[in-house]
Amino acid sequence: MRLRSVLVLSVFAVLSGCVASQEDVRGIYGRQARLEAKVAQLSQEIESQKAQSTNNSDLRKQVAQIEQGLNDMQQSISDMGERLNRLEKGGEQISSFPSQSETPGGGGSEVAPPISNEETVFNDAYKGLTEGRYKDARDRFKLFLSKYPSSAKAPDAQYWLAESYYREGNFEEAILAFQKFIDTYPKDSRVPLSYLKQGLSLISIGRKEEARLFLQTLIDKFPRSQEAKVAREKLAALGEGKR
């Protein structure tokens, strides 16, 4: 439960402060992606513990607590997605205090910059993802990539397109889509996470030998990353691992 508390607190720490810049938004996307990796790992731990908890009341209580933590983290992800949409639509001021324009006698009102069609398409796609409308989200992300292939948001669109397959449980398509992301944007900070999710996807569909290859590639290329730490744990669980 300590892990859950740390992760949730980190989410809200990210969302505190003033008006978010484009780099701030991209940073939040990266943190959200890593939080989702923890959610995926926790989900697998729940399933493993459930299999052992039939005749153990204490363990059943522990599983119930973990499941509640998972639900809380998933809600945090959803809330973050909604906040990101508002940030990108007008530079929302994240603060517990009203802005000058909101305060009586503040003197004038702030006008949000116009939203381009590019932003509209991306925001609609991302909103669909956070709401669980995965096919709709993919269609919008694909439209975005076809119309704005040189956009600064193109890496985000490709990553979240892959993520939509992963969340949907369509793991074979997720593996291919994450590979396209890795090949197209090899220097992106989410490449380690993409390798990890490919490995987790392969484990989920029973292709353990291939999963080992992807997880070991992650460890070899990004040995000090948090994702590599998770990969080592997964390899150990599979009965093999190079440390």
**Residue found by looking up tokens 């490709």 in the block:** 158
Q: What is the pLDDT of residues 1-33, one digit of tens each?
A: 444 443 433 443 443 444 444 455 555 555 555
SS3 state at 92: coil
Q: What percent of the chain has pLDDT over 90?
A: 49
Range 72-94 average pLDDT = 55
pLDDT at 70 over 60: no
Burial 90-125 (b: 16+ CB within 10 A, else e): ebbbbeeeeeeeeeeeeeeeeeeeeeeeebebbbbb
19: β partners: 93
Please report the sign of the dihedral spanned by the C-alpha atoms of residue 82, residue 87, residue 182, residue 218: negative
Q: For residues 72, 233, 175 and 212, what is the CA-based torsion angle, rounded to 10 degrees?
A: -170
Estimate to the nearest angstrom the gap between the alpha carbon of 42 and the chain centroid: 14
Q: Which of 9-23, 42-56, 153-167, 201-215 has the lowest mean pLDDT?
A: 9-23
pLDDT at res. 180: 97
| CB within 8 Å of 177: residues ≥ 6 apart | 158, 161, 162, 165
Q: For 195-235, write each residue's pLDDT tens digit.
A: 999 999 999 999 999 999 999 999 999 999 999 999 999 99
pLDDT at 137: 95
Which range has the worst mean pLDDT, 21-30, 115-124, 169-178, 222-231?
21-30
Q: b or e along 65-87 (b: 16 or more beta carbons within 10 Å of the residue's beta carbon)?
A: ebeebbeebeebbeebbebbbeb
